Chains A and B, each alone.
Chain A
Amino acid sequence: MKFKGKSFIAIVLSPEPPFEEWLKEVDRIIARSPGFFVDRPIILDVRGSNIPIADLEQLLADLRERSIRVMGIDGVAGTRLKEGMPPSFGGGRLTSDVEVPEPASKSGESGDAKPDKNNSQVKTDDDHGQNANGHSFAKSLEELENQQAKEGNSSIVISEPVRSGQSILHPDGDVTVIGSVSSGAEIIAGGSIHIYGALRGRALAGVAGKDNARIFCTKLDAELVSINGLYKVADDFDGTLRNSPAQIRFENETLVFEELN
Protein backbone atom coordinates (compact mmCIF):
# COMPACT_ATOMS: atom_id res chain seq x y z
CA MET A 1 0.00 0.00 0.00
CA LYS A 2 1.25 3.43 -0.91
CA PHE A 3 0.40 6.79 0.53
CA LYS A 4 0.91 9.75 -1.66
CA GLY A 5 0.69 13.43 -0.97
CA LYS A 6 -0.97 15.92 -3.26
CA SER A 7 -1.49 19.56 -2.50
CA PHE A 8 -4.44 21.58 -3.64
CA ILE A 9 -5.26 25.15 -2.96
CA ALA A 10 -8.76 25.35 -1.60
CA ILE A 11 -11.07 28.29 -1.94
CA VAL A 12 -12.09 29.39 1.51
CA LEU A 13 -15.56 30.88 1.82
CA SER A 14 -16.24 32.85 4.97
CA PRO A 15 -19.99 33.34 5.22
CA GLU A 16 -21.10 36.44 7.03
CA PRO A 17 -24.53 37.18 8.34
CA PRO A 18 -26.98 38.12 7.04
CA PHE A 19 -26.58 34.98 4.95
CA GLU A 20 -29.23 35.95 2.39
CA GLU A 21 -27.10 38.91 1.40
CA TRP A 22 -23.97 36.82 1.38
CA LEU A 23 -25.60 34.16 -0.82
CA LYS A 24 -26.69 36.84 -3.26
CA GLU A 25 -23.04 37.77 -3.50
CA VAL A 26 -22.20 34.17 -4.27
CA ASP A 27 -24.93 34.10 -6.91
CA ARG A 28 -23.43 37.17 -8.50
CA ILE A 29 -20.08 35.41 -8.82
CA ILE A 30 -21.74 32.36 -10.30
CA ALA A 31 -23.63 34.52 -12.77
CA ARG A 32 -20.38 36.11 -13.83
CA SER A 33 -18.42 32.90 -14.22
CA PRO A 34 -20.64 29.85 -13.98
CA GLY A 35 -17.78 27.39 -13.77
CA PHE A 36 -16.02 29.12 -10.95
CA PHE A 37 -16.91 26.75 -8.11
CA VAL A 38 -17.07 23.62 -10.21
CA ASP A 39 -14.66 20.90 -9.13
CA ARG A 40 -12.74 23.16 -6.84
CA PRO A 41 -11.86 22.19 -3.31
CA ILE A 42 -14.00 24.49 -1.22
CA ILE A 43 -13.73 25.00 2.51
CA LEU A 44 -16.30 26.82 4.56
CA ASP A 45 -14.56 28.91 7.20
CA VAL A 46 -16.88 29.74 10.10
CA ARG A 47 -14.11 30.31 12.61
CA GLY A 48 -15.10 32.79 15.27
CA SER A 49 -18.65 33.24 14.02
CA ASN A 50 -20.32 30.87 16.53
CA ILE A 51 -22.86 29.94 13.94
CA PRO A 52 -25.74 27.74 15.18
CA ILE A 53 -25.68 24.28 13.67
CA ALA A 54 -29.17 24.73 12.22
CA ASP A 55 -28.03 27.83 10.35
CA LEU A 56 -24.97 26.01 9.13
CA GLU A 57 -27.17 23.21 7.87
CA GLN A 58 -29.34 25.66 6.00
CA LEU A 59 -26.29 27.38 4.58
CA LEU A 60 -24.85 24.10 3.33
CA ALA A 61 -28.19 23.28 1.70
CA ASP A 62 -28.22 26.69 0.02
CA LEU A 63 -24.73 26.15 -1.27
CA ARG A 64 -25.56 22.69 -2.51
CA GLU A 65 -28.45 24.20 -4.41
CA ARG A 66 -25.87 26.31 -6.21
CA SER A 67 -23.82 23.20 -6.98
CA ILE A 68 -21.09 24.29 -4.61
CA ARG A 69 -19.68 21.21 -2.98
CA VAL A 70 -18.15 22.03 0.36
CA MET A 71 -15.41 19.55 1.15
CA GLY A 72 -14.80 20.59 4.70
CA ILE A 73 -15.72 23.02 7.45
CA ASP A 74 -13.14 24.97 9.35
CA GLY A 75 -13.91 26.33 12.79
CA VAL A 76 -16.53 23.89 14.04
CA ALA A 77 -15.59 20.93 16.20
CA GLY A 78 -16.24 17.64 14.47
CA THR A 79 -18.45 16.50 17.35
CA ARG A 80 -20.90 19.33 16.77
CA LEU A 81 -21.38 18.51 13.10
CA LYS A 82 -24.37 16.42 12.14
CA GLU A 83 -24.25 13.30 10.07
CA GLY A 84 -24.06 14.00 6.36
CA MET A 85 -22.26 17.28 6.84
CA PRO A 86 -18.79 17.79 5.42
CA PRO A 87 -16.09 16.89 7.93
CA SER A 88 -14.36 19.33 10.19
CA PHE A 89 -11.04 20.59 8.87
CA GLY A 90 -8.22 22.34 10.57
CA GLY A 91 -4.58 23.19 10.30
CA GLY A 92 -4.81 24.96 6.96
CA ARG A 93 -2.17 27.51 6.12
CA LEU A 94 -3.18 30.71 4.45
CA THR A 95 -1.70 31.26 1.03
CA SER A 96 -1.19 34.77 -0.14
CA ASP A 97 -2.87 34.64 -3.52
CA VAL A 98 -5.01 32.13 -5.25
CA GLU A 99 -5.06 32.61 -8.98
CA VAL A 100 -8.75 32.80 -9.56
CA PRO A 101 -10.78 34.90 -11.98
CA GLU A 102 -12.66 36.98 -9.47
CA PRO A 103 -11.41 36.60 -5.94
CA ALA A 104 -13.87 34.54 -4.02
CA SER A 105 -12.77 36.11 -0.77
CA LYS A 106 -14.31 39.35 -1.96
CA SER A 107 -17.71 37.92 -1.34
CA GLY A 108 -16.66 36.89 2.11
CA GLU A 109 -15.34 40.30 2.95
CA SER A 110 -18.65 41.82 1.91
CA GLY A 111 -18.81 45.28 0.42
CA ASP A 112 -21.46 45.62 -2.27
CA ALA A 113 -19.66 48.19 -4.33
CA LYS A 114 -16.57 46.12 -4.89
CA PRO A 115 -18.01 43.24 -6.89
CA ASP A 116 -19.99 45.62 -9.07
CA LYS A 117 -16.90 47.55 -9.85
CA ASN A 118 -15.16 44.33 -10.54
CA ASN A 119 -17.91 43.36 -12.86
CA SER A 120 -17.64 46.44 -14.98
CA GLN A 121 -13.91 46.01 -15.03
CA VAL A 122 -14.25 42.57 -16.46
CA LYS A 123 -16.46 43.91 -19.19
CA THR A 124 -13.99 46.52 -20.26
CA ASP A 125 -11.22 43.99 -20.10
CA ASP A 126 -13.19 41.83 -22.41
CA ASP A 127 -13.13 44.62 -24.95
CA HIS A 128 -9.43 45.13 -24.60
CA GLY A 129 -8.66 41.56 -23.71
CA GLN A 130 -5.21 42.39 -22.48
CA ASN A 131 -4.50 42.72 -18.81
CA ALA A 132 -4.72 40.22 -16.03
CA ASN A 133 -8.47 40.25 -15.63
CA GLY A 134 -9.00 39.78 -19.33
CA HIS A 135 -7.05 36.60 -19.02
CA SER A 136 -9.16 35.50 -16.12
CA PHE A 137 -12.31 36.07 -18.09
CA ALA A 138 -11.09 33.68 -20.75
CA LYS A 139 -10.28 31.22 -18.04
CA SER A 140 -13.81 31.32 -16.72
CA LEU A 141 -15.12 30.57 -20.20
CA GLU A 142 -12.91 27.54 -20.26
CA GLU A 143 -14.35 26.51 -16.95
CA LEU A 144 -17.81 26.90 -18.36
CA GLU A 145 -16.89 24.48 -21.09
CA ASN A 146 -15.51 22.10 -18.51
CA GLN A 147 -18.75 22.34 -16.65
CA GLN A 148 -20.73 21.52 -19.74
CA ALA A 149 -18.42 18.60 -20.26
CA LYS A 150 -19.27 17.41 -16.80
CA GLU A 151 -22.96 17.69 -17.39
CA GLY A 152 -22.99 14.59 -19.51
CA ASN A 153 -23.46 15.40 -23.17
CA SER A 154 -19.76 15.68 -23.79
CA SER A 155 -17.61 13.77 -26.17
CA ILE A 156 -13.92 13.28 -26.45
CA VAL A 157 -11.96 12.62 -29.59
CA ILE A 158 -8.72 10.68 -29.62
CA SER A 159 -6.86 11.19 -32.85
CA GLU A 160 -4.23 8.50 -32.47
CA PRO A 161 -4.24 4.74 -32.03
CA VAL A 162 -5.01 3.47 -28.55
CA ARG A 163 -2.17 1.11 -27.69
CA SER A 164 -2.05 -2.13 -25.80
CA GLY A 165 -2.06 -1.42 -22.08
CA GLN A 166 -3.74 1.95 -22.44
CA SER A 167 -7.14 2.62 -21.01
CA ILE A 168 -9.37 5.50 -22.02
CA LEU A 169 -11.96 6.27 -19.39
CA HIS A 170 -14.64 8.84 -20.08
CA PRO A 171 -17.67 8.16 -17.89
CA ASP A 172 -19.52 11.28 -19.00
CA GLY A 173 -20.09 10.82 -22.69
CA ASP A 174 -19.01 9.51 -26.05
CA VAL A 175 -15.54 8.51 -27.06
CA THR A 176 -14.41 8.76 -30.66
CA VAL A 177 -11.15 7.20 -31.72
CA ILE A 178 -9.62 8.06 -35.06
CA GLY A 179 -7.34 5.08 -35.39
CA SER A 180 -7.27 1.56 -34.07
CA VAL A 181 -7.79 0.22 -30.59
CA SER A 182 -5.13 -2.42 -30.06
CA SER A 183 -5.58 -5.76 -28.49
CA GLY A 184 -4.97 -5.26 -24.79
CA ALA A 185 -6.33 -1.71 -24.78
CA GLU A 186 -9.71 -0.65 -23.47
CA ILE A 187 -12.17 2.16 -24.02
CA ILE A 188 -14.70 2.82 -21.28
CA ALA A 189 -17.36 5.38 -22.05
CA GLY A 190 -20.49 6.62 -20.38
CA GLY A 191 -22.03 7.04 -23.81
CA SER A 192 -21.32 5.50 -27.18
CA ILE A 193 -17.97 4.49 -28.64
CA HIS A 194 -17.00 5.30 -32.21
CA ILE A 195 -13.87 3.77 -33.66
CA TYR A 196 -12.66 4.78 -37.08
CA GLY A 197 -10.26 1.90 -37.39
CA ALA A 198 -9.96 -1.63 -36.13
CA LEU A 199 -11.36 -2.49 -32.72
CA ARG A 200 -9.07 -5.22 -31.45
CA GLY A 201 -9.24 -4.51 -27.74
CA ARG A 202 -12.16 -4.00 -25.39
CA ALA A 203 -14.95 -1.49 -25.72
CA LEU A 204 -17.31 -0.84 -22.83
CA ALA A 205 -20.04 1.63 -23.68
CA GLY A 206 -22.86 3.03 -21.57
CA VAL A 207 -21.12 2.22 -18.31
CA ALA A 208 -23.14 4.85 -16.49
CA GLY A 209 -26.25 2.80 -17.07
CA LYS A 210 -27.18 3.84 -20.59
CA ASP A 211 -28.93 1.16 -22.60
CA ASN A 212 -29.07 3.33 -25.68
CA ALA A 213 -25.31 3.59 -26.00
CA ARG A 214 -23.79 1.90 -29.02
CA ILE A 215 -20.43 0.79 -30.27
CA PHE A 216 -19.38 1.52 -33.83
CA CYS A 217 -16.21 0.42 -35.52
CA THR A 218 -14.92 0.12 -39.05
CA LYS A 219 -13.30 -3.25 -38.36
CA LEU A 220 -14.60 -5.52 -35.66
CA ASP A 221 -11.97 -7.76 -34.13
CA ALA A 222 -12.69 -7.05 -30.47
CA GLU A 223 -11.73 -9.07 -27.43
CA LEU A 224 -14.79 -7.95 -25.55
CA VAL A 225 -17.65 -5.53 -26.09
CA SER A 226 -20.07 -4.37 -23.46
CA ILE A 227 -23.03 -2.04 -23.24
CA ASN A 228 -24.38 -1.09 -19.85
CA GLY A 229 -22.60 -3.99 -18.21
CA LEU A 230 -23.87 -6.65 -20.59
CA TYR A 231 -20.88 -8.11 -22.33
CA LYS A 232 -19.83 -10.56 -25.00
CA VAL A 233 -16.38 -11.94 -25.57
CA ALA A 234 -14.86 -12.67 -28.97
CA ASP A 235 -15.87 -16.33 -28.92
CA ASP A 236 -19.54 -15.41 -28.71
CA PHE A 237 -19.47 -13.00 -31.63
CA ASP A 238 -21.19 -13.58 -34.88
CA GLY A 239 -18.30 -14.79 -37.03
CA THR A 240 -19.66 -13.30 -40.22
CA LEU A 241 -19.04 -9.78 -38.97
CA ARG A 242 -15.40 -10.41 -38.17
CA ASN A 243 -13.13 -7.73 -39.65
CA SER A 244 -16.05 -5.86 -41.17
CA PRO A 245 -17.67 -2.58 -40.19
CA ALA A 246 -20.13 -3.18 -37.40
CA GLN A 247 -22.35 -1.57 -34.84
CA ILE A 248 -23.36 -3.12 -31.57
CA ARG A 249 -26.45 -2.10 -29.66
CA PHE A 250 -28.46 -3.16 -26.65
CA GLU A 251 -31.88 -4.64 -27.32
CA ASN A 252 -34.10 -6.79 -25.11
CA GLU A 253 -31.29 -7.61 -22.71
CA THR A 254 -29.00 -8.84 -25.45
CA LEU A 255 -26.31 -7.33 -27.57
CA VAL A 256 -27.24 -7.02 -31.21
CA PHE A 257 -24.45 -7.02 -33.79
CA GLU A 258 -25.15 -5.49 -37.14
CA GLU A 259 -23.14 -4.81 -40.20
CA LEU A 260 -22.58 -1.12 -40.68
CA ASN A 261 -23.09 0.14 -44.16
Chain B
Amino acid sequence: MSNATVVVVTSGKGGVGKTTTTAAIASALAKEGYQVCAIDFDVGLRNLDLIMGAERRVVFDLVNVVRGEASIKQALVRDKKLNNLYLLPASQTRDKDALTEEGVANVISELRTYFDWVICDSPAGIERGATLAMRHADEAIIVSNPEVSSVRDCDRIIGLLDAKTKIAEDGGRMPKHLMITRYDTDRAKTGDMLATEDVVDILSVPLIGVVPESKDVLKASNVGLPVTLSDETSPPAKAYMEAVRRLLGENIPVTIPEEKKSFFGKLFKGRAA
Protein backbone atom coordinates (compact mmCIF):
# COMPACT_ATOMS: atom_id res chain seq x y z
CA MET B 1 0.00 0.00 0.00
CA SER B 2 1.46 3.29 -1.04
CA ASN B 3 0.79 6.60 0.58
CA ALA B 4 0.22 9.31 -1.94
CA THR B 5 1.38 12.88 -1.93
CA VAL B 6 -1.69 15.07 -2.33
CA VAL B 7 -1.04 18.22 -4.34
CA VAL B 8 -3.59 20.98 -4.74
CA VAL B 9 -3.41 23.15 -7.84
CA THR B 10 -4.91 26.46 -6.89
CA SER B 11 -5.12 30.18 -7.66
CA GLY B 12 -7.46 32.91 -6.61
CA LYS B 13 -8.50 33.98 -10.04
CA GLY B 14 -10.20 31.95 -12.74
CA GLY B 15 -8.82 31.38 -16.20
CA VAL B 16 -5.17 31.29 -15.25
CA GLY B 17 -4.59 27.69 -16.24
CA LYS B 18 -5.26 25.58 -13.17
CA THR B 19 -7.02 22.82 -15.07
CA THR B 20 -4.40 22.78 -17.82
CA THR B 21 -1.71 22.64 -15.18
CA THR B 22 -3.45 19.83 -13.29
CA ALA B 23 -3.80 17.74 -16.44
CA ALA B 24 -0.25 18.45 -17.56
CA ILE B 25 1.34 17.71 -14.18
CA ALA B 26 -0.74 14.59 -13.61
CA SER B 27 0.05 13.13 -17.01
CA ALA B 28 3.72 14.03 -16.77
CA LEU B 29 3.93 12.26 -13.40
CA ALA B 30 2.13 9.25 -14.89
CA LYS B 31 4.64 9.19 -17.72
CA GLU B 32 7.38 8.96 -15.13
CA GLY B 33 5.74 5.72 -14.04
CA TYR B 34 3.84 6.82 -10.94
CA GLN B 35 0.27 5.85 -10.13
CA VAL B 36 -1.53 9.16 -10.48
CA CYS B 37 -5.05 10.37 -9.85
CA ALA B 38 -6.36 13.78 -10.85
CA ILE B 39 -9.46 15.04 -9.04
CA ASP B 40 -11.68 17.78 -10.36
CA PHE B 41 -13.01 19.77 -7.41
CA ASP B 42 -14.69 22.33 -9.62
CA VAL B 43 -18.15 20.93 -9.03
CA GLY B 44 -20.69 22.56 -11.31
CA LEU B 45 -18.16 23.59 -13.90
CA ARG B 46 -16.29 20.42 -14.68
CA ASN B 47 -13.51 20.84 -17.20
CA LEU B 48 -10.71 18.53 -16.26
CA ASP B 49 -12.39 15.56 -17.95
CA LEU B 50 -12.64 17.63 -21.11
CA ILE B 51 -8.99 18.56 -21.14
CA MET B 52 -8.03 14.97 -20.42
CA GLY B 53 -10.37 13.73 -23.12
CA ALA B 54 -12.49 11.62 -20.80
CA GLU B 55 -15.78 13.46 -20.88
CA ARG B 56 -17.65 10.69 -22.69
CA ARG B 57 -16.63 8.07 -20.22
CA VAL B 58 -17.80 9.74 -17.03
CA VAL B 59 -20.44 7.64 -15.28
CA PHE B 60 -20.08 8.51 -11.63
CA ASP B 61 -18.42 11.61 -10.24
CA LEU B 62 -16.88 13.09 -7.10
CA VAL B 63 -20.25 14.08 -5.67
CA ASN B 64 -21.56 10.52 -6.05
CA VAL B 65 -18.53 9.23 -4.20
CA VAL B 66 -18.67 11.85 -1.45
CA ARG B 67 -22.34 11.03 -0.92
CA GLY B 68 -21.71 7.31 -0.89
CA GLU B 69 -23.74 6.68 -4.04
CA ALA B 70 -20.81 5.09 -5.81
CA SER B 71 -17.49 3.61 -4.80
CA ILE B 72 -14.26 5.35 -5.73
CA LYS B 73 -13.32 2.50 -8.04
CA GLN B 74 -16.56 2.90 -9.94
CA ALA B 75 -16.02 6.60 -10.37
CA LEU B 76 -12.37 6.59 -11.41
CA VAL B 77 -11.90 7.00 -15.16
CA ARG B 78 -8.75 5.52 -16.62
CA ASP B 79 -6.83 7.57 -19.15
CA LYS B 80 -6.92 6.42 -22.77
CA LYS B 81 -3.18 6.48 -23.26
CA LEU B 82 -1.63 5.95 -19.86
CA ASN B 83 -3.00 3.09 -17.82
CA ASN B 84 -1.55 4.42 -14.57
CA LEU B 85 -3.36 7.75 -14.86
CA TYR B 86 -6.87 8.11 -13.47
CA LEU B 87 -9.39 10.89 -13.24
CA LEU B 88 -12.03 11.48 -10.61
CA PRO B 89 -14.37 13.88 -12.40
CA ALA B 90 -16.55 16.62 -10.95
CA SER B 91 -20.30 16.68 -11.23
CA GLN B 92 -21.77 18.95 -13.82
CA THR B 93 -25.31 18.87 -12.46
CA ARG B 94 -24.72 19.62 -8.79
CA ASP B 95 -23.15 22.66 -7.24
CA LYS B 96 -20.21 22.99 -4.91
CA ASP B 97 -22.38 22.82 -1.80
CA ALA B 98 -22.92 19.15 -2.58
CA LEU B 99 -19.49 18.39 -1.14
CA THR B 100 -19.16 17.72 2.55
CA GLU B 101 -15.95 18.11 4.45
CA GLU B 102 -16.12 14.66 5.95
CA GLY B 103 -16.90 13.07 2.60
CA VAL B 104 -13.95 14.79 0.94
CA ALA B 105 -11.68 13.70 3.77
CA ASN B 106 -12.76 10.09 3.28
CA VAL B 107 -12.25 10.22 -0.49
CA ILE B 108 -8.75 11.68 -0.14
CA SER B 109 -7.71 9.20 2.50
CA GLU B 110 -8.93 6.29 0.38
CA LEU B 111 -7.16 7.61 -2.71
CA ARG B 112 -3.97 7.92 -0.70
CA THR B 113 -3.82 4.17 -0.40
CA TYR B 114 -4.20 3.52 -4.15
CA PHE B 115 -1.94 6.14 -5.68
CA ASP B 116 1.50 7.75 -5.51
CA TRP B 117 0.24 11.19 -6.46
CA VAL B 118 -3.18 12.76 -6.08
CA ILE B 119 -3.52 16.06 -7.95
CA CYS B 120 -6.51 18.19 -6.97
CA ASP B 121 -7.81 20.77 -9.42
CA SER B 122 -9.26 23.51 -7.25
CA PRO B 123 -12.07 25.81 -8.34
CA ALA B 124 -11.25 29.50 -8.54
CA GLY B 125 -12.07 31.80 -5.68
CA ILE B 126 -11.74 31.53 -1.95
CA GLU B 127 -15.01 29.86 -1.15
CA ARG B 128 -16.01 26.47 0.08
CA GLY B 129 -14.98 24.53 -3.01
CA ALA B 130 -11.48 25.94 -2.96
CA THR B 131 -10.97 25.46 0.77
CA LEU B 132 -12.22 21.88 0.54
CA ALA B 133 -9.80 21.15 -2.29
CA MET B 134 -6.81 22.47 -0.36
CA ARG B 135 -7.79 21.21 3.06
CA HIS B 136 -6.12 17.79 2.93
CA ALA B 137 -3.26 18.63 0.59
CA ASP B 138 0.37 17.95 1.43
CA GLU B 139 1.73 20.43 -1.07
CA ALA B 140 0.34 23.23 -3.16
CA ILE B 141 1.04 24.49 -6.64
CA ILE B 142 -0.07 28.09 -6.95
CA VAL B 143 -0.83 29.09 -10.50
CA SER B 144 -0.48 32.74 -11.41
CA ASN B 145 -0.44 34.75 -14.58
CA PRO B 146 2.09 37.56 -14.72
CA GLU B 147 -0.51 40.24 -14.07
CA VAL B 148 -1.35 42.13 -10.90
CA SER B 149 -4.88 40.89 -10.27
CA SER B 150 -3.83 37.29 -10.60
CA VAL B 151 -0.84 37.80 -8.32
CA ARG B 152 -2.86 39.47 -5.64
CA ASP B 153 -5.48 36.74 -5.65
CA CYS B 154 -2.74 34.15 -5.36
CA ASP B 155 -1.37 36.03 -2.38
CA ARG B 156 -4.76 35.73 -0.73
CA ILE B 157 -4.86 32.02 -1.47
CA ILE B 158 -1.41 31.54 0.04
CA GLY B 159 -2.74 33.18 3.17
CA LEU B 160 -5.56 30.64 3.24
CA LEU B 161 -3.14 27.76 2.65
CA ASP B 162 -1.32 28.90 5.76
CA ALA B 163 -4.50 29.19 7.79
CA LYS B 164 -7.28 26.90 6.69
CA THR B 165 -5.62 23.62 5.81
CA LYS B 166 -5.18 20.52 7.94
CA ILE B 167 -1.41 20.99 7.93
CA ALA B 168 -1.70 24.58 9.12
CA GLU B 169 -4.14 23.69 11.85
CA ASP B 170 -1.75 21.03 13.08
CA GLY B 171 0.91 23.72 13.30
CA GLY B 172 2.81 22.83 10.13
CA ARG B 173 3.64 24.72 6.97
CA MET B 174 2.48 23.53 3.62
CA PRO B 175 5.25 23.41 1.01
CA LYS B 176 4.24 25.70 -1.82
CA HIS B 177 5.35 26.02 -5.42
CA LEU B 178 4.68 28.86 -7.78
CA MET B 179 3.80 28.15 -11.38
CA ILE B 180 3.64 31.14 -13.69
CA THR B 181 1.52 30.45 -16.74
CA ARG B 182 0.71 32.32 -19.94
CA TYR B 183 4.02 34.10 -19.75
CA ASP B 184 4.74 36.33 -22.70
CA THR B 185 8.40 37.31 -22.88
CA ASP B 186 7.91 40.23 -25.22
CA ARG B 187 5.17 41.77 -23.15
CA ALA B 188 7.16 41.27 -19.97
CA LYS B 189 10.07 43.11 -21.60
CA THR B 190 7.94 46.04 -22.65
CA GLY B 191 6.39 46.23 -19.20
CA ASP B 192 2.90 45.16 -20.26
CA MET B 193 3.26 42.18 -17.97
CA LEU B 194 4.97 41.64 -14.70
CA ALA B 195 8.39 40.05 -14.94
CA THR B 196 8.93 36.66 -13.34
CA GLU B 197 11.15 38.14 -10.65
CA ASP B 198 8.44 40.59 -9.65
CA VAL B 199 5.86 37.85 -9.24
CA VAL B 200 8.26 35.73 -7.19
CA ASP B 201 9.23 38.79 -5.17
CA ILE B 202 5.63 39.66 -4.34
CA LEU B 203 4.50 36.15 -3.51
CA SER B 204 7.80 34.95 -1.99
CA VAL B 205 7.13 31.35 -2.92
CA PRO B 206 9.75 29.24 -4.74
CA LEU B 207 9.23 29.04 -8.48
CA ILE B 208 8.52 25.62 -9.94
CA GLY B 209 8.07 26.59 -13.57
CA VAL B 210 7.26 29.28 -16.10
CA VAL B 211 4.93 28.21 -18.89
CA PRO B 212 4.96 30.40 -21.98
CA GLU B 213 1.76 31.58 -23.57
CA SER B 214 1.35 29.24 -26.51
CA LYS B 215 -1.17 28.10 -29.05
CA ASP B 216 -0.07 24.54 -28.30
CA VAL B 217 -1.99 24.64 -25.03
CA LEU B 218 -5.26 25.53 -26.70
CA LYS B 219 -4.63 23.01 -29.47
CA ALA B 220 -4.00 20.28 -26.93
CA SER B 221 -7.09 20.99 -24.88
CA ASN B 222 -9.24 21.03 -27.98
CA VAL B 223 -8.18 17.53 -28.89
CA GLY B 224 -8.63 16.44 -25.28
CA LEU B 225 -5.04 15.70 -24.48
CA PRO B 226 -2.92 17.19 -21.70
CA VAL B 227 -0.28 19.36 -23.30
CA THR B 228 2.47 17.15 -21.92
CA LEU B 229 1.06 14.23 -23.93
CA SER B 230 -0.03 15.93 -27.14
CA ASP B 231 3.24 17.52 -28.14
CA GLU B 232 6.16 16.71 -25.89
CA THR B 233 8.54 19.01 -27.68
CA SER B 234 6.40 22.13 -27.40
CA PRO B 235 7.69 24.83 -25.04
CA PRO B 236 4.74 24.54 -22.60
CA ALA B 237 5.13 20.76 -22.42
CA LYS B 238 8.82 21.18 -21.70
CA ALA B 239 8.06 23.72 -18.97
CA TYR B 240 5.60 21.34 -17.32
CA MET B 241 7.98 18.38 -17.52
CA GLU B 242 10.65 20.50 -15.91
CA ALA B 243 8.21 21.51 -13.17
CA VAL B 244 7.43 17.87 -12.48
CA ARG B 245 11.10 17.04 -12.11
CA ARG B 246 11.32 19.83 -9.59
CA LEU B 247 8.22 18.55 -7.82
CA LEU B 248 9.96 15.18 -7.58
CA GLY B 249 12.79 16.87 -5.76
CA GLU B 250 15.34 17.52 -8.50
CA ASN B 251 17.24 20.73 -8.15
CA ILE B 252 17.33 22.25 -11.61
CA PRO B 253 17.27 25.90 -12.62
CA VAL B 254 13.98 27.29 -13.90
CA THR B 255 14.02 28.05 -17.60
CA ILE B 256 12.51 31.42 -18.33
CA PRO B 257 11.01 31.18 -21.80
CA GLU B 258 12.74 33.22 -24.46
CA GLU B 259 11.04 34.28 -27.60
CA LYS B 260 12.36 31.93 -30.25
CA LYS B 261 12.24 34.51 -32.98
CA SER B 262 14.00 37.12 -30.90
CA PHE B 263 17.27 36.84 -32.79
CA PHE B 264 15.63 37.32 -36.16
CA GLY B 265 13.30 39.87 -34.70
CA LYS B 266 16.27 41.96 -33.64
CA LEU B 267 17.83 41.49 -37.02
CA PHE B 268 14.74 42.73 -38.78
CA LYS B 269 14.35 45.62 -36.44
CA GLY B 270 17.96 46.52 -37.03
CA ARG B 271 17.46 46.60 -40.75
CA ALA B 272 14.33 48.56 -40.58
CA ALA B 273 15.90 51.26 -38.49
Shortest B86–chain A CB gap in Å is: 34
| A182 in contact with B162 (CB, 8 Å) | no
B152 touches A164 (CB 8 A): yes
For residue A179, which residues in chain B have a CB less than 8 angstroms away from its CB? 204
In angstroms, how far is the closest chain A Cβ from the Cβ of B158?
5
Closest chain A residue to B152, Cβ basis: A164
Contact A180 B202 (CB under 8 A): yes
User: B204 — which chain A residues lie within 8 A by C-beta?
Assistant: 161, 179-180
Chain B residue total in the interface (Cβ 8 A): 11
Residues of B within 8 A of A253 (CB): none
Q: Does B156 count as interface, using CB distance less than 8 angstroms?
A: yes
Interface size of A by CB at 8 A reads 14
Quick check: A165 and B159 within 8 Å, CB to CB? yes
Known pairs A179-B204, A200-B202; A166 contacts B152 (CB<8 A): no
Q: Mark A196-215, 1 if CB is under 8 A from B, else 0.
A: 00101000000000000000
Given A180-B202, A182-B202, A165 and B162 contact (CB-CB distance below 8 Å): no
Please tell me which one of the listed residues B155, B162, B201 contacts residue A164 in the complex, with CB atoms under 8 A apart: B155
Contacts of B202 in A (CB 8 A): 180, 182-183, 200
- Which parts of B147-164 form the interface with A (CB within 8 Å)? 152-153, 155-156, 158-159, 162
Known contacts A161-B204, A179-B204, A200-B202, A184 near B162 by CB under 8 Å: no
CB-contacts of A168-183 with B (<8 A): 179-180, 182-183
CB distance from A2 to the nearest CB of B (A): 17
Residues 13-34 of B, flagged 1 when their CB comes within 8 A of A and 0 if not, give: 0000000000000000000000
Residues of B within 8 A of A198 (CB): 201
User: Most chain-A Cβ atoms within 10 A of its Cβ — which of B126, B155, B158?
Assistant: B155
B-side interface mostly: helix
A184, B203: Cα distance in complex, Å: 13
| Contacts A161-B204, A200-B202 given; does A183 touch B159 at CB 8 Å | no
Q: Is A163 an interface residue (CB 8 A)?
A: yes
Task: Indicate which residue in A160, A165, A180 contacts B156 across the interface (CB closer than 8 Å).
Answer: A165
- Residues of A contacting B156 with CB < 8 Å? 163-165, 184
Restricting to B171-230, which residues have a CB under 8 Å from any CB of A?
A: 201-202, 204
Q: How far is the CB of A62 from chain B (nearest CB, A)?
A: 42
Closest B residue to A163 using CB positions: B159
Residue of B nearest to A162 (CB): B159
- Please, could you name 29 A-B residue pairs with CB atoms under 8 Å apart, sorted by A? A161-B204, A163-B155, A163-B156, A163-B158, A163-B159, A163-B162, A164-B152, A164-B153, A164-B155, A164-B156, A164-B159, A165-B126, A165-B156, A165-B159, A166-B159, A179-B204, A180-B202, A182-B152, A182-B155, A182-B202, A183-B152, A183-B155, A183-B202, A184-B152, A184-B155, A184-B156, A185-B159, A198-B201, A200-B202
Known contacts A164-B156, A182-B155; 13 further A-B pairs (Cβ under 8 A): A163-B155, A164-B155, A165-B126, A165-B155, A165-B156, A179-B204, A180-B204, A183-B152, A183-B155, A183-B202, A184-B152, A184-B155, A184-B156
What residues make up the interface of B, taking CB atoms closer than 8 Å to A? Answer: 126, 152-153, 155-156, 158-159, 162, 201-202, 204
Give 3 closest A-B pairs by Cβ, nearest first. A163-B159, A164-B155, A165-B156
